Each structure stands twice: as C-alpha cells, then as structure tokens.
A and B are shown apart, each in its own frame.
Chain A
Amino acid sequence: LAKTTQPISMDSYEGQEVNITCSHNNIATNDYITWYQQFPSQGPRFIIQGYKTKVTNEVASLFIPADRKSSTLSLPRVSLSDTAVYYCLVGDILNAGNMLTFGGGTRLMVKP
C-alpha cells in the first residue's frame, strides 16, 4: 500500500470549512483513496472514497488532482462534533483492500 503523509494536527472554529491534505507520492494506478474518521474510544468510520477529480457525499468532499499524488478532504462548516482523528488510506480496493494500513492521521480540534 502507498505510504501517506498527513499533518499531525489542525485547529479550526465552528462554522469554518476545514481542508485536510494527504500526500501519497507513490500511489499506484489501481489505488483508491479512502478517508476514515475516528472519535475517541470508538472504531474508525468510513467517510469518503475516490479515484480522481472530485467526490462529494452528505458528509464531505474529496478533491484529487490530476497527478493523484495528493488528496484533500474538505469538511464544510464544521461543528464541535467534528473533533476527531481523520485517516487517509491508499490502496487497491480490488487486490490489496483487505490490508488497511493506517498512517498517523490528523487530529482535528474544532473550537467554539
């Protein structure tokens, strides 16, 4: 699986848009990008997954540039309940998807 690099932590305020960037320079052609959210003492929760350009769901948007060497998770108008750790994972969902290797993650703190 491709190695990922994320900021260790980020601070934001309620109502702001938060963008968390993940670098994955050695992403392979068949790799997808997946983001998980984890609250304290809970299991990670799938947020969004994409291959290229932009993906949007009811929770977040995922922006992937043409070279796919990075991706940005965008959380619109965050609230205090969005305080969590966000993990970016990269892998081939058809062949190596069974092995989820979590990187360090980004600890997001949303302040009032």
Chain B
Amino acid sequence: DTEVTQTPKHLVMGMTNKKSLKCEQHMGHRAMYWYKQKAKKPPELMFVYSYEKLSINESVPSRFSPECPNSSLLNLHLHALQPEDSALYLCASSQVGAMTQYFGPGTRLTVL
C-alpha cells in the first residue's frame, strides 16, 4: 500500500469555526509532513514530524495546530483561520531523512 489518504477532500469553514484535517498512511513511514499550496504556487512546508515528534515548524501561525497521535496518523487542527488561509493542504510521508515523499491528494480548504 503506497497510498496517503486525506479527509475531507473539501472543507468550507467560517473564521470562527474549529475543524481538523486528517491524514493516514500505512507504509511504515516515520516522517510525516503538512504542506500548504496556493493556486499556481509550489507547495510550502508547514510542519514535519519524525518518529511522532514535531521536528520542524516553519514559523506557522498558532491558528494551525498539528498533531501526530501515532505513526500512521497526522492531524491538522484549524481554529480562527483567515480567508488568506484558503489553499490546498497536502499531507506527505516518507522514511525519515528521505527526499522521496509520498503525497496525499490534499484537502481543498476555503475560509469564508
């Protein structure tokens, strides 16, 4: 199984809502990532988890809160987002240290 799954596929939320994005992989990878991608721009790294511990936070605002409950799951909790946070949120996984990452299909987020 070389698939990374993400739910939901689409999400519309208001600025006062709290929602969560979920990501799952069963490839035994111990590194998992969140990226944000705006239209016609490259993906931008947000967070990296290695062995279920947050290893990299690319100065992301605190309204984004990642969580890695176990080696297969990665969540991104969203609270008090702004319209400019609307984007495609991508999850990826890999062997720790590897440049070959496996990406999920993404969650298209719209903040009203």
Contacts and interface: CB of A to CB of B under 8 A. Distances in A.
Contact of A43 (B45, B50, B94, B105): B105
B100 A49 contact: yes
Given A98-B50, A98-B55, A98-B56, A44 B43 contact: yes
Interface of B is mostly: strand
Contacts, number: 65
A105 B42 contact: yes
Interface residues of A, number: 24
B102 A104 contact: no
Interface in A36-64: 41-46, 49
Interface residues of B, number: 28
Interface string A71-112: 000000000000000010101011101111111110000000
Interface of A: 32, 34, 41-46, 49, 87, 89, 91, 93-95, 97-105
